[in-house]
């Protein structure tokens, strides 16, 4: 296993972020969704403008996972008003942990997850939460293994479909 380095993402990294975001999203979800819904989401969800705006948000942090200077995954966490739902000042949301499929099973997700916990602990937050698609057993298993428990569900509008996300949380205190 090569050495994995984490790097905070800045404005200048928006194009690299767009590339890894589209690639990992497509690899993760394309087999279970229609081409039309995938195309719509990838076109609208990962524009340079949208990603730049997210990077600039003081309540969000992005990190690349790098192997030999190649971006192989990324993390996005939110606090405060940047959180997609709960917006509890005592929580951190893991909005995205994505890893290139070539690096699945090589602990990259665990390293990115560790960074999210480190941030939550540095900010002295009470819990970490996230939403994960009910048809993504790999991710659900990953979070359960790390001590997360289900606490709710919510609808995620994906193109012309309504999909169910399982909401999970991990108490830190």
Show which residues are catalytic.
143
Cβ atoms within 10 A of the Cβ of 68, count?
9
Q: 10-32 burial string, b = 16+ CB within 10 Å, else e? A: eeebbeebbebbeebbbebbeee
In Å, how far are 39, 44, 47, 121, 152 from 93, measured between CA atoms? 26, 22, 22, 13, 14
Bridge partner list, 166: 132, 153
């Amino acid at each position: 296993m090569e050495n994995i380095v984490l790097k905070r993402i800045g404005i200048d990294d928006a194009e690299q972020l767009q590339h890894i975001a589209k690639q990992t999203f497509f690899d993760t979800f394309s087999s279970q969704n229609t081409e039309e819904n995938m195309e719509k989401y990838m076109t609208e969800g990962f524009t340079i403008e949208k990603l730049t705006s997210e990077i600039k948000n003081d309540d969000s942090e992005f990190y690349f996972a790098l192997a030999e200077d190649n971006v192989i995954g990324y993390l996005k966490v939110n606090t405060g008003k940047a959180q997609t739902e709960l917006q509890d000042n005592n929580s951190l949301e893991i909005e995205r942990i994505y890893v290139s499929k070539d690096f699945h099973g090589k602990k990259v997700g665990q390293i990115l997850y560790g960074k999210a916990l480190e941030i939550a602990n540095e900010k002295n937050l009470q819990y970490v939460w996230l939403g994960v698609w009910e048809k993504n057993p790999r991710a659900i298993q990953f979070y359960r293994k790390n001590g997360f428990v289900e606490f709710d569900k919510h609808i995620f509008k994906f193109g012309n479909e309504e999909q169910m996300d399982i909401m999970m949380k991990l108490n830190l205190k």
